[in-house]
């Protein structure tokens, strides 16, 4: 039995990030030992929603004689993906942490940066968008790698949020004081 005939379950297509989808697909093909360009091409076609298949209709209708998988892969990434220039613009636009952990935010920024940005520049962008109390602490961690620093930032954020919630809960409100005074009178 040929390995190319195995049933491979591919993840659902990710139109917002076709490059990520193809990375996952490539790992699946590697795991199953699938190397044939035409077999890979067939699996992609079998897992592509018709709406997105229309984006590469020209390749589906007239597949190239050589490298059909590489061709459809490059075309989907180019036609549906965000250009490197657009990702850089998005990376440089102000965006805050939101409800993400610092490590999640770093992952998001890395996705935008791709492989073209140094960790030092990425560290500067990432750390400048963290809360000031975290910035002050991680500024002393320039000798640590960025992932370690992000892990520490997660820990600091978790600890300071817990302390903030405790302080908020423990602080009596004016209404609480008034109720307590009325209770004491009764």
Regarding whether 110 and 39 lie in a shared domain, the answer is: no
- Predicted local confidence at residue 4, as pLDDT: 46
CA dihedral 59, 65, 67, 68 (to 10 degrees): 30
Domain with 130, as residue range(s), is 84-170
Regarding whether 50 and 12 lie in a shared domain, the answer is: yes
Regarding whether 131 and 72 lie in a shared domain, the answer is: no
Regarding whether 62 and 41 lie in a shared domain, the answer is: yes
Per run of 10 residues, the mean pLDDT along the chain (length 186 residues) is 65 91 95 94 94 95 96 95 83 86 92 83 92 91 91 91 53 64 66
- Predicted local confidence at residue 66, as pLDDT: 94
How buried is residue 122: exposed, middle or buried, by Cβ count under 10 Å (0-12/13-18/19+)?
A: middle
Residue 80: CB partners within 8 Å, gap ≥ 6? 15, 18, 52, 55
Regarding whether 151 and 104 lie in a shared domain, the answer is: yes
Regarding whether 163 and 89 lie in a shared domain, the answer is: yes
Regarding whether 114 and 53 lie in a shared domain, the answer is: no
Number of domain units in the chain: 2
- CA 185 – CA 128 distance, rounded (Å): 53
Query: Is the pTM above the cut of 0.85?
Result: no
Regarding whether 119 and 70 lie in a shared domain, the answer is: no
* 103 occurs within a structural domain: yes
Regarding whether 103 and 47 lie in a shared domain, the answer is: no
- CA 128 – CA 25 distance, rounded (Å): 35
* 53 occurs within a structural domain: yes
- Predicted local confidence at residue 186, as pLDDT: 59
């Amino acid at each position: 039995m040929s390995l190319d005939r195995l049933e491979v379950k591919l993840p659902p297509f990710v139109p917002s990030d076709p490059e990520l989808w193809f990375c996952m697909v490539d790992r699946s093909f590697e795991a199953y030992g699938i190397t044939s360009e035409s077999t890979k091409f067939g699996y992609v076609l079998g897992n592509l929603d018709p709406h997105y298949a229309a984006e590469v209709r020209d390749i589906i209708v007239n597949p190239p004689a050589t490298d059909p998988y590489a061709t459809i892969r490059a075309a989907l990434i180019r036609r549906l993906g965000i250009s490197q220039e657009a990702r850089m613009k998005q990376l440089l636009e102000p965006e805050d942490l939101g409800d993400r952990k610092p490590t999640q935010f770093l992952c998001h920024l890395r996705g935008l940066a791709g492989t073209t940005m140094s960790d030092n520049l990425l560290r500067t962008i990432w750390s400048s968008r963290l809360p000031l109390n975290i910035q002050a602490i991680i500024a002393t961690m320039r000798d640590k790698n960025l992932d370690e620093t992000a892990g520490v930032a997660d820990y600091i954020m978790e600890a300071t949020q817990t302390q903030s919630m405790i302080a908020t809960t423990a602080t009596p409100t004016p209404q609480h004081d008034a109720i307590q005074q009325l209770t004491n009178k009764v």
